[in-house]
Structure 1
Amino acid sequence: MDQPQQHFLVVSFPAQGHINPSLQLAKRLARLGAQVTFSTATEVHRRIPLGKLPHCLLAPPTPSEELKSVGSRTLAELARDLAAAGRPVTCVVYNFLVPWAAAVARDLGVPPPCIGSSPPPSSPSTTSTSVAIPASSRPTGRTPSPSRSTGPAGSPRPRRPSLLFSRNPEDDLFFPLVEELFQTMDTKARVLVNTFEALELDYLKAAESVELLPIGPTLPSAYADGLDGTETSFGGDLFQQTPRESYTAWLDAQPDRSVVYREEISRALEDSQRSYLWVARGAREGVKESSQGMVVEWCSQVEVLSHRAVGCFVTHCGWNSTLESLACGVPIVGMPKWSDQPANAHLAEPSAEGLPDAAELRRCLDLVMGEGQRGEAVRQRAEIWGRRAREAVREGGSSDRNLMAFVQQRLTD
């Protein structure tokens, strides 16, 4: 007798950093033969060319409380409609900023949901040393200094997530959601984590309250498992890209490992005298191209990082950027600001602290891209971790095995 087909309802918070890994996870589940429905906010959904991947609308991109009330109702309606159409949902997969999806699943009698494409174990949503702390109970001590990194990951994470000690007011938005996540999480919940065993196995094993399943890096197939060489982007960009041909042609004309790829950071790097590709989204007053660099509104980051001309990534160290740089074998110079960024930077270079000034940035770039022994060691380490990341998601790799085992386990729950 044939086994019933699994139907995963993947629910994503409507922000670029959450949509990318969630959408990529949905594609991977579909490649394993499962039915997949991808759900996110209406206005965001309209911008995503989902192609053959089944999809639905969830709610308008509104503040979290309205997203919760409207999203809970429409998600329940969607699940009932799918069941009526003969495609009942067998598992709800959601990321940690939409914890209310768990209650919807339980109300519908869907088997215990799992948290999909979560941050790595240093996140307050997954680490065994973390608790949900209301804003009124947050620590009032000195905020740990963020770190400066000069290479990809490979060092222990800080003992506690940087988010728990942040004084950035924007981080206050996360605490009610993290608290609700713990309140709604099942005992021994399954958490699909966007990392891989070789990177932080000790932290994955240390969790006691949840079952952590590393299934990352969740990157486009061309830069990960290699099964689809035509899939070179996530396919869920919410911003208007600069025409791809313009920046790829510019990169093609540059020598190997000569370009600094940089996020929306200080113009101080213009003094480095190194070629750069700079993403300057939104307000661009005072931002202009020069003979040594190119400025773009938006681009396919993972495609840029995989280009032979890119020799360094100057980044805020969000987990997606950190993991993409690692998988592409590109060294990092980190300038963390908020949320999980300081913890991610610490993973890459635990011994360095403080935000670098312009002179220090130039020193880091000279170290990473120069001809000295330390720079060569950093580049070699980047290449090693890039190979390990790609091996994890290729057929038979640790992340590939974990995801396949998860899908098979759903059949027996």
Structure 2
Amino acid sequence: MPAMVAKKVERAAAATGEVPHFLVVTYPAQGHINPARHLALRLLRATPGARVTLSTAVSACRKMFPDAGEAEEHMDGAGVRYVPYSDGFDAGFDNAAHDHTDYMSQLKIVGPRTLDGVLTRLRDAGRPVTQVVYTVLLSWVAGVARAHGVPTALYWIQPATVLATYFHFFRGTDGFDQAVAAAAEDPWAELRLPGFPAPLRLRDLPSFLTITSDEHPYAFVLAAFRELLGALDDDREENGRGATVLANTFEAMEPDAVATLRQHGLDIVPVGPVLSFLDAAPASTNSNDLFKQDGKGYIEWLDAQAASSVVYISFGSLSSMSKRQISEVARGMAESGRPFLWVLRKDNRGEVDSADLCAGGGMVVEWCDQGKVLSHPAVGCFVTHCGWNSTLESVACGVPVVGVPQWTDQGTNAWLVERQLGTGVRAAVSDKDGVLEAEELRRCISFATSEMVRAKATMWREKARAAAAVGGSSEKNLRAFVAGQVAPAGN
């Protein structure tokens, strides 16, 4: 790391008598834990002598460290310490038995109390926290940190374009909120997002913006994002300046979103792509996922395939697939004649035999190390739900995408891939049931693996890796944040 920044951090720690200690607090879902864990590793390397602790719910920690028993603290091989808070569901959340609205209510009651205990224990153990970084859906974390006199920063784990969308929607910038409400029934309606030169369609915006009833099962999410922006306003009033938002993106990827947020007073600091496999340290390969991997068989299978021949299929940790969708993907791949690696959890495929799904020349696994798979030279296309982690990984690995977004930020991510970057295509799905049919899957794979798209994927791979590399724009921004210089460096 640059010696000047390292010395500044060390001098500041010596002056206060404190070792820098970052506490990264995250919601207990795989798509939140992954970027939080990757950021923790980056912070550990960016700050010589620092401590980094990650806190997520008790139930998630038990899955990540199944052999640790009831221990209150865990340590991974990279040096990141894990200290859980309670969300009130220590035995885990069951979609069939529990209600999401009740969960969020309980989380906001139990979470602050137990996170307060985490900060107190760390202080009393001689390891006081000097900076709290928290992810989305956890606006209450800022208040807990403030009560301990600890500065905070939000870690935005979705694209900056989505943050800009929520920001302008809740503030009613240029009547954007009214335009969204007026277009609520037309997914093809064009909308002007302030600061963007070209319009987006309603279907390109986060799906939660179209929720109009408080009775909707996911109405709590829109309320949570409103509270999150309110917490940023509270920080601005407290500090007399804009709240700091670390964003898992890089400026060249989303220049319009970054610019409009800064113009409206948000100190957004692009530090991405924050992906452990981009870092050279061997410890960055630690997994500790909430889902158990299938071992190394899939890597050996990939080793036996031709370069850029394999279609990798994964719809993430939360998505569910209907029987018809499974059947259409299996038929499309069999008819394509291409080898494929398909991540399909048992709870997601019911009684379907994996051997039947592999008849077209593929391999089905329960879970895998996606970074390793996308980095493998045999992989030439990624059929994905377009979660932000998956989208960033595809860009950083230069793998073309077939996007099949379902909800939340996924439509925006697909728009970025198709319209902004040109590294893939958004698939059309059935109007009847939202299923990607076999013929469309084959068409999209053919387009995504064309020379034009592959060339753009390669170009953006280099841009992404340059931003994250030592001396790159995102790397400089993170070091400036660590050193207390919130103003981000330019590209």
TM range (shorter): 0.7 to 0.9
Deviates more, 1:88-97 or 1:17-26: 88-97
Say if 2:375 is the partner of 1:306. yes
1:212 lines up with 2:259 in the alignment: no
Residue pair 2:85, 2:114 contacting (<8 A) in 1 also: yes
What's the counterpart of residue 352 of structure 2?
A: 286
Q: Percent same amino acid among aligned pairs?
A: 42
Bigger Rg, structure 1 or 2:
2
Please list, as runs of the form range in 1=range in 2, the aligned pairs for 1:141-160 lying within 5 A after superposition: 141-145=184-188, 158=200
Distance 1:322 1:171, change over 3 A: farther
The secondary structure found in structure 2 opposite 1:202 is helix
Report the equivalent of 1:402: 477
**Secondary structure, counterpart of 1:47 in structure 2:** helix
| Counterpart code for 2:475 | D
- 2:170 counterpart SS class: coil
Are the structure 2 counterparts of residues 93 and 254 from structure 1 closer, same or farther at C-alpha, using a change threshold of 3 Å?
A: same
Q: Is 1:157–1:343's contact at 8 Å kept on the other side of the alignment?
A: no
**Distance verdict in 2 for CA 1:401–1:124, change over 3 Å:** closer
Instruction: Pick from 294, 297, 300 the counterpart of residue 246 of structure 1.
Output: 297
Q: TM-score, normalised by structure 1?
A: 0.87
Structure 2: state its 5+ residue gaps.
Answer: 1-9, 14-18, 66-75, 94-102, 173-177, 190-196, 237-241, 316-320, 420-424, 430-435
Are 1:94 and 1:115, in contact at CA under 8 Å, matched by a contact in 2?
yes
Structure 2 partner of 1:54: 81
Tell me how far apart the structure 2 counterparts of residues 230 and 236 of structure 1 sit (CA, whole Å). Answer: 12
Residues 8 and 334 (structure 1 numbering): CA distance in 2 closer, same or farther, change over 3 Å? same
Paired residue for 1:372?
none
1:276 & 1:408 partners in 2: Cα distance?
45
Do the aligned residues in 1 keep the contact of 2:386 with 2:410 (CA within 8 Å)?
yes
Q: Could you say if the C-alpha distance between residues 336 and 93 of structure 1 is closer, same or farther in structure 2, counting changes exceeding 3 Å?
A: same
With over 3 angstroms needed to count, the CA separation of the structure-2 counterparts of 1:229 and 1:84, relative to structure 1, is closer
Partner Cα distance (2:188, 2:427) in 1: 6
SS in 1 for 2:113: helix
5+ residue gaps, structure 1: 147-154, 370-374
- Aligned partners of 1:204 and 1:405: how far apart in 2? 17
* 1:96-148 Cα deviation digits (max 9, x unpaired): 1111101101112222x110143121224775423179xxx9836225259xx
Where does 1:161-172 land on structure 2 (aligned, <5 Å)? Answer: 161-166=205-210, 169=216, 171-172=218-219
Cα distance change on mapping 1:37 and 1:21 into 2, 3 Å: same
1:19 is the counterpart of 2:58: no
Higher helix share: 2
What TM-score do the two structures reach when normalised by structure 2?
0.74
Alignment of 1:9-408 (within 5 A): 9-33=23-47, 34-49=50-65, 50-51=76-77, 52-59=79-86, 60=90, 61=92, 63-111=103-151, 113-124=152-163, 128-131=167-170, 139=181, 141-145=184-188, 158=200, 161-166=205-210, 169=216, 171-185=218-232, 186-187=235-236, 188-207=242-261, 208-220=264-276, 223-224=277-278, 226-229=279-282, 231-232=284-285, 235-243=287-295, 245-264=296-315, 266-267=325-326, 268=328, 269-270=332-333, 271-281=335-345, 282-284=347-349, 285-288=351-354, 289-290=358-359, 292-350=361-419, 354-355=428-429, 357-369=437-449, 375-408=450-483
Change (3 A) 1:291 1:352: closer
How far off is 1:294 after superposition?
0.4
Return the alpha-carbon distance in structure 1 between the equivalents of residues 271 and 110 of structure 2.
30
CA displacement at 1:209 relative to structure 2: 3.3
* Aligned residue identity for 1:283: N
CA distance in 2: counterparts of 1:294 and 1:352, whole angstroms: 24
Would the alpha carbon gap of residues 353 and 247 (structure 1) be closer, same or farther in structure 2, given more than 3 Å must change?
A: closer
**Alignment length (residue pairs):** 390
Describe the superposition over 1:318-368 as per-residue Cα deviations: whole angstroms up to 9, x where unpaired: 111111111000000011110001111111223968425321221111222
Preserved CA contact (<8 Å) 1:251 1:309: yes
Q: CA offsets, 1:163-218, max 9 Å, x none?
A: 34445955423112112112222221110001011111221121123111111111
Aligned-residue CA RMSD (Å): 2.7
Report the CA distance between 1:229 and its aligned residue. Answer: 4.5
Q: Deviations over 1:48-71 (max 9, x none)?
A: 252331221101355112122111
- Rate the CA distance shift 1:196–1:345 in 2: closer, same or farther, 3 A: same
Following TM superposition, by how much is the alpha carbon of 1:286 offset from its aligned partner in structure 2, in angstroms? 2.0
Distance 1:320 1:157 in 2: 25
Contact 1:75 1:104 in 2 (8 A): yes
Q: 1:37, CA displacement in angstroms?
A: 1.3
